[in-house]
Structure 1
Amino acid sequence: MKKDQSEMSSEELWHLYPIILSEHKDCWKDWYLEEKETLKRILKLDNMILSHIGSTSVDTIWAKPTVDILVEADGGDFSAVFETLAKHGYIHMYRTKTRMSFVKGYLPEGFAEKVYHIHVRLFGDNDELYFRDYLIEHPETAKEYETLKLGLWKPFEFDRDGYTNAKGEFVKAVTEKAKRLYRGRYIRSEI
């Protein structure tokens, strides 16, 4: 008898949903635009900004074929956002007072064709935008990041936390550099 995902350990889930990297695919932008429209339609928030983040938003590097979307919104809207996304089939991963994370495309038998990570944050909690922009505007740094990820892929294929943690110092350093360079680019206290 097959276990339900909610009954699986992290290790079992990591084997069901391993780290996979792929050359950039142009369809990822289209997937983002489709999901953006879905999120705008179901969330119906007046004050909301959606952005394509993560490696699929950088068209020069390999990436996990997962489209990451940042949803910046007012803190007062968070309960409604949580309920709406859960009601529409997004799987809740974690929730704090100022952040939420959901996934879509994680099927009981493995990944769907289209896989999404939805990151819901308060306006201004958007370091990923700085990191993305720096990689796009500095191809040599993007290639360094790609090389790092490709080197971590097989050793951490079944350890998502280890994979993320192993990239952490690089991501942090580049993000700090980008925030100095692009100071104030994404200050969004209100719309």
Structure 2
Amino acid sequence: MNTSAASSTDDAPIEVVDYNPAWPALFDAERRLLQEALAPWLAGPVEHIGSTAVPGLPAKPIIDIMALVRSLAESADAIAAASALDYLYYPYKPEQLHWFCKPSPVHRTHHLHLVPLHSALWQQRLAFRDALRGSSTLTARYAALKRQLAVQYRHDREGYTEAKGPFIAQVLARM
């Protein structure tokens, strides 16, 4: 069982593609698998987050999934359960979440974020997703930013993510 993702040097380049109307169905199929496999640790719903969860928004073609767990310590055994579904665990921000990619860092189709109950991260990610879903103007601005950053940070996933931070913070500050 492989429980750690490869280093960032093994990551695929960042590619932002047009919205794919199949993304919600891909999420729903994965949600059902995760709800069953992670049931002992779940403390709430399994949510579709990130850009693939926003109709019409261009995105990296990776389904981002977030699930609520009672605590990180209590859900440590969920790492093995997720690994059984071909998720690779990587200790990215381990004080905030359990993070996984599937099937590999080079070819990612899914990200899984297990976050603890009462986590600000849970609230922020859902609020940002919902803000984008509710405003075509905001969605268009974010799409333009994502396309620009995907070119600028093509081989720097962390830089790409960090560069989106000010936009996301600005949206959340208005809520």
TM class by shorter chain equals 0.7 to 0.9
Flag the structure with larger Rg. 1
Question: Cα deviations across residues 66-100 of structure 1 (Å, max 9, x unaligned)?
Answer: 00001011116312212211343210122624411
Q: 8 Å contact 2:46–2:68 — kept in the other structure?
A: yes
Deviations 1:9-63 (A, max 9, x none): 53x313xx11011111011101100100010111123633110000000012100
Give the match for residue 79 of structure 1: 76
Matched, 1:21 2:19: no
Whether 1:147 aligns to 2:141 is no
Equivalent in the alignment of 1:3: none
Out of 93, 97, 100, which is 2:98 matched to? 100
Relative to its length, the structure with more helix (as a share) is 1
Q: How does 1:1-191 map to 2 (within 5 A)?
A: 9-10=7-8, 12-14=9-11, 17-45=12-40, 47-75=43-71, 77-94=74-91, 96-106=94-104, 110-111=106-107, 115-125=109-119, 126=122, 127-178=124-175
Q: Which amino acid aligns with 1:54?
A: G
Please give the alpha-carbon distance, in whole angstroms, between the structure 1 residues aligned to 2:45 and 2:31.
Answer: 10
Q: Given the two structures, how large is their TM-score scaled by the length of structure 2?
A: 0.86
Gaps in structure 1 of 5+ consecutive residues: 1-5, 179-191
- Aligned-pair identity (%): 27
Amino acid in structure 1 at the alignment position of 2:88: I
| SS of residue paired to 1:173 | helix
The alignment covers a number of residue pairs equal to 166
| Kept after mapping to 2: 8 A contact 1:49/1:73 | no
Residue segments in structure 2 that go unaligned for 5+ positions in a row: none
Contact 1:51–1:69 under 8 Å retained in 2 = yes
- Give the AA of the match of 2:57: I
